[in-house]
Amino acid sequence: MAKVLGLDIGGTSSRARVAVDGLIVAEAKSSSANAAAVGLGEASRVLEDLLSQLPLKTLAPLDAACAGAAGAVGADVRNLFADRLATTVADGGSVAVVSDVLLVLPAAGLDRGVGLICGTGSAGVGSDGSQIVTAGGWGYLLGDEASGYWLVRQAVRTLLEREDRGEELGALGPALLKAGGSSHLDDLRTRFYSDPRPGKWAALAPVVLASHDPAVATILEDAARALDQLIGALVERLGEPGALPVVLAGGLSANSRFCGVVTRYLRSTRPGARVTVLTEPPVAGAVRLAEDAAARGQGAVGPAFNSAFNSQRNATR
């Protein structure tokens, strides 16, 4: 029996799952362990919290473990997770720490396709079954278009532009000021700069999406256009002439308004592509990648993901 551990480290929350012979036997949830957002110390604490909720001592040793982490997965982040997860696997077992966007297609049970994460941040992944490429995921300072943080930032910018023109703030103004804990726009702008944590502001995305302010429709069209461009970059790099299926994931994919605008736009610009929303949690992708590694590349997800897993493997016991 293959015993594996999968983790999804998002910008807002983290999730872990243990599977034995393909069956889920334990799950755990905690706050974000995204080191870029909360720091290495807090990331380590959350990781320990996640692992402490699982019956790892009973199941030890595991055959493989895979963690998908949001944001930039630098050497310090990779080593933090890889070193800790390596203590849970058997001699010769595999441990990988990869970008969380690599979890989307395996979670959807696809070997070929395009996966788009629209959560606190945003990123894309594409696979033709033999190679895998990623795009976006630049972080909130340089990109993350169509993410929760980006939506809120665009909304704040809209209000600031209206104020500059001497216009009324519109329906979006009172709603966003209240959600941001501000009595006036200058205070909201000050709060935005003084505490720029992406997760904090991304949490206000539902407020923006619930507003009937006409500016929100424009912001959503811009988001859909940005995601279409992300798909274009992935398909171009793959050299894929056919229409690959597109899977939307991340917190915003659960919002009917956001999802409706994006899917309609993508179906109009890419009529041959099947656009769906991920129904499994991304942690399922981490489990499937770990199962593939445990099966020495014989899993159902496909060679592209085995290659991605192996190329990013950093710890083996």
What is the spatial distance between Cα 39 and Cα 53, in angstroms, rounded to a whole number? 22
Profile the chain (317 residues) by mean pLDDT over runs of 10 residues.
87 86 90 73 84 89 89 74 87 85 92 92 90 89 94 97 94 94 93 89 95 96 96 90 87 94 94 92 92 65 45 36
Which neighbouring-strand residues pair with 17?
6, 27
The owner of tokens 């700069």 is: 193
Give how far Cα 47 sits from Cα of 35, 44, 86, Å.
Answer: 11, 5, 13
Residues of the chain with CATH 3.30.420.40: 3-108+280-316, 112-277
Q: Which CATH number fits domain 112-277: 3.30.420.40, 3.40.640.10, 2.60.120.260, 3.10.20.600?
A: 3.30.420.40
- SS3 (DSSP) at 250: coil
What pTM does this model have? 0.82
Cis amide bond preceding 206, omega within 30:
no
Contact 100, 182 (CB under 8 A): no
Rounded distance between C-alpha atoms, residue 125 and residue 127, angstroms: 7
> Domain 3-108+280-316 maps to which CATH number in 2.30.290.10, 3.40.50.1820, 3.30.420.40, 3.40.50.1240?
3.30.420.40
The predicted pLDDT at position 266 comes to: 94
Q: Strand 3-9 relative to strand 13-20: parallel, antiparallel, unpaired?
A: antiparallel
Please give the pLDDT value at position 180: 92
